[in-house]
Structure 1
Amino acid sequence: MVTAQRAHLTCSCISIHCRTRYPRAARPPSCLSRIRVFCSASIRVAPRAVAPCGIASRHAEDAPRIDPNYLSTDKDIAEVIQGSRLIRRIMQTEALRSITVKETLPGPQVETDADMLSYFRENSGSIYHLCGSCAMGADPATSVVDKHLKVHGIDGLRVVDASIFPNITSGNINAATMMVAERGASLILRDSG
């Protein structure tokens, strides 16, 4: 069975060279003391693209075959470009303009949507939070586990982690994963007697 997963995608990362100096109490290590850059990013927390994943070989220790499928839907593309344009507008506010020297990445030469998309395709990546490779659902043809976290068609096997999410959460998956673990533990204890 080929399943799919989703991951939060960071694309709209814009690095800014700034004029500020660190306050004495907040000084970074000496190796960073001359660096005056900050990065502002918009994160696509609910990507529409689905990353197909499957078995790469018959050896269990081999990593699965996963195609992250980043920026493969029109909606994902439109929203990361929109996010980058918003960051640039925010950077032009009076408060931030006063500390900004220049945009360093992708740089002012990247203006068109096509240029921005090209930059993102070369530089974007996951901020992890992978989930959904064993999605929960009622239909064994489209899901791996049922509402009791039992693997369809296999007795005595459950999946109790973020891979059962049918959809990615709109934020860090830590709290939702802990809730799944709590629920899974109670189901296992209930069924054990």
Structure 2
Amino acid sequence: MSERCGWCGDDPIYVAYHDDEWGVPEYDSRALWEKLILDGFQAGLSWITILKKRAAFREAFEGFDPNVIATWGEAEVARLLSNPGIVRHRGKIEATIGNARAWQKIEQQQGFDRFLWDYVGGRPVQNSWTALAEVPAFTPLSTQISKDLKKAGFRFCGPTIVYAAMQAMGLVNDHLVTCPAHARVAALAR
């Protein structure tokens, strides 16, 4: 019998995220950046916390438009630190502004989408995990991407954060093979 990946439990928000978003290949540069930023905000917290605050994050961060966020300074940091709808962490907020500037450089040079998708040859890695215990927290590839992002000026993008983002972005299909989403997500690969 097919069962969803056990990590999503039965919370409707988590189930919808698992079924409709997690692992689905994303090719839009801005959307890829948003996923990386949200995974950075999740560090030290549960993912459900971020999902429940995602609408507030999108509103507070102008739809995660890196071209807007790259222009921000201390006034916007102060505004965000007073917003109870988001995770109010100065370091993560300031990193998001710097990461928007780093995104702009990569986007101009080659496209942030291409920058990320080139690591997997443009096609999602199709893993075949049978148990949650097999799914790694990070990999040599997420470690390399993390190093390259840091070299490009990104912060809050360690190997574990990057691997979680890779899963969310669909660069890797980490749905368990017993999960109905595994085959559905695999079929979406370009």
By the TM > 0.5 criterion, same fold? no
Bigger fraction of residues in helix = 2
TM-score norm. by structure 2 comes to 0.29
Bigger fraction of residues in strand = 1
